[in-house]
Structure 1
Amino acid sequence: MMSMLGPAEHAHTGAWIASVLRARIAGGQLTPGSKLSEHALSAALGVSRNTLREAFTVLAGESMVDRIPNRGVFVASPGAEDVREIYRVRRMIEPAAVLWGETTPEALDDMDAIIARALAARAAGSVPDMADANQSLHRAVVALSGSQTLETLMARVLAQMRLVFHSMAAAPDFHSHYVDRNAELVARLRAGSRGEAAAGLRSYLDAAEAELLGHLEHAGSRAAGS
């Protein structure tokens, strides 16, 4: 905990707190629209409000939180353009990791274990567990690159994805039909068919983006008509 680090605490405390909050968003503990109380968080994390505000500035720059004058700081609710930007990033880094990353036996075994979790979650009808497995699989894909910079970028993207997933609460089957596509991706990697795996992943990302945008458009139309 931050309070145990003493006066010579982490050199980038604001960035560290931002990473803690980002992880909570990625884990579904902080949901879109949630107000982030400076008083409660500074006490819980053992840091000053100024340090917490530094973290909020970092997260606002990543579109993870919204700062509303005279109201406070709230976890963001991503819109259509946010979704497009997420998928611009994902289309650039994930297929590249599939094409040129190091697919070690250990990495493939880890992916197989994630697919097993996803299949079990689908059988149990657990949407949160399917979402967790989905995110773990795509994190593992980017980890093939061996780049800590890309892994850090992907962590931010996946936190934003978690916020987008909340908009799909009315479509509980959203994750279920991507389980098989993830399994197919891993099978192609095991077979050494990197080109097919990358092309399939690109198609997968295009389909997911279109589905999310369609849902957001439909939800916006319903809200406008109510």
Structure 2
Amino acid sequence: MAEQLTGLADDRALLGRTSTAERVSDILRGRIAEGFFPPGTRLSEDSIGGALGVSRNTLREAFRLLTHERLLVHELNRGVFVRVLTVEDVEDIYRTRRLVECAVVRGLGEPPYDLEALAAVVEESRKAAREGDWKGVGTANIHFHRELVALAGSARTDELMRSVFAELRLAFHVVDDPRRLHEPYLARNRQILQALQAGDRTEAEKLLATYLDDSLERVVDVYRRRVGEGEALL
């Protein structure tokens, strides 16, 4: 055991740095997911490091973590940027969503389900719509699906989808008419909620699968009209 512990004392400093870097990456991931940093935004080490009060090395480690999650990209001699998605990226995001979200609904146990958080998000989205805040509706829509995944009670699934939903926000940024994209899903989210409240997992999964297919078609259509199939949005 003594041999196994040799050198660990020298690594103690890494614990604090890694922990801080992970916390910084959590903050930045949340900001990306909430739409504060649109695709193509250059992230300034000086500005962000100063705002968060962290060292350059810690911030660079956080950037590395988010690059691994495909949220950021490092461009040689230019810096770190919020990633710009391609059509193929969007299709893969929705493929993952369909696999995971539908499986969560299908795998729910016997009703009743704890739907308080899901219902609160539905009301949040309706309030944002009444105020004409369509960016807020988009954010609430992502929250709806995050809470839907949380019904699985799986920390691993939540962690997996955390980055997927942050990437989804990047996809939403290319939409030039957010109301046209998000408004139809206000009613559809409510229908999924009502199916779950009635204990009908089969109907909820059916509604969800159709929802995701239609949403994919809408977002991909925007990408193809603006930049052409397979090309990055610049």
TM-score bucket (shorter structure): 0.7 to 0.9
- Counterpart code for 2:48: L
> Which of 193, 202, 214 is matched with 1:195 structurally?
202
Q: Which has more radius of gyration?
A: 2
Deviation of the 1:120 alpha carbon: 2.3
Task: Give the match's secondary structure for 1:145.
Answer: coil
Task: Identify the residue that residue 4 of structure 2 maps to in structure 1.
Answer: none
Say whether 1:110 aligns with 2:110. Answer: no
CA positional deviation for 1:15: 2.4
For structure 2, which runs of at least 5 residues remain unmatched after alignment?
1-12
Counterparts of 1:40 and 1:137, CA distance in 2:
32
Partner of 1:80: 87
In the superposition, relative to structure 1, how do residues 103 and 80 fare at CA in structure 2: closer, same or farther (>3 Å)? farther
How far apart are 1:9 and its partner, in Å? Answer: 3.2
Equivalent residue, structure 2, for 1:205:
212
Q: Distance in 2 between matches of 1:104 and 1:110?
A: 16
Aligned residue in 1 for 2:173: 166
- How many correspondences in the alignment? 217
**Partners of 1:136 and 1:27 in 2: how far apart?**
10
Q: Provide, for residues 112-159 of structure 1, a one-character-per-residue CA deviation record: whole Å limited to 9, x for no partner.
A: 222122222223321022112111110110000101111112211111
Equivalent residue for 1:140, pick from 137, 147, 157: 147
The residue aligned with 2:9 is none
* Percent of residue pairs bearing the same amino acid type: 37
Counterpart position of 1:53: 60
- AA aligned opposite 1:152: E
Report if the CA contact (8 A) 2:30-2:166 is conserved.
Answer: yes
CA distance in 2, matches of 1:130, 1:193: 26
Matched, 1:157 2:157: no
Q: Scaled by the length of structure 1, what TM-score is found?
A: 0.88
Q: What is the identity, as a one-letter code, of the residue corresponding to 1:116?
A: E
Distance change (3 Å), C-alpha of 1:103 and 1:209: farther
1:125 corresponds in structure 2 to 132
Give, in whole Å, the separation in 1 of the partners of 2:177 and 2:86: 16
Stretch of structure 1 that moved more, 187-196 or 102-111: 102-111
- In 2, are the aligned partners of 1:130 and 1:175 still within 8 Å (CA)? yes
Identify if the C-alpha distance between structure 1 residues 7 and 45 changes in structure 2 by more than 3 Å, giving closer, same or farther: farther
| Mean Cα deviation higher: 199-208 or 37-46 | 37-46
* Contact 2:25–2:65 under 8 Å retained in 1: yes
TM-score scaled to structure 2, two decimals?
Answer: 0.85
- 1:29 is displaced (CA, Å) by 1.5
- Structure 2 match to 1:21: 28
Tell me if structure 1 keeps the 8 A contact 2:108–2:201. Answer: no
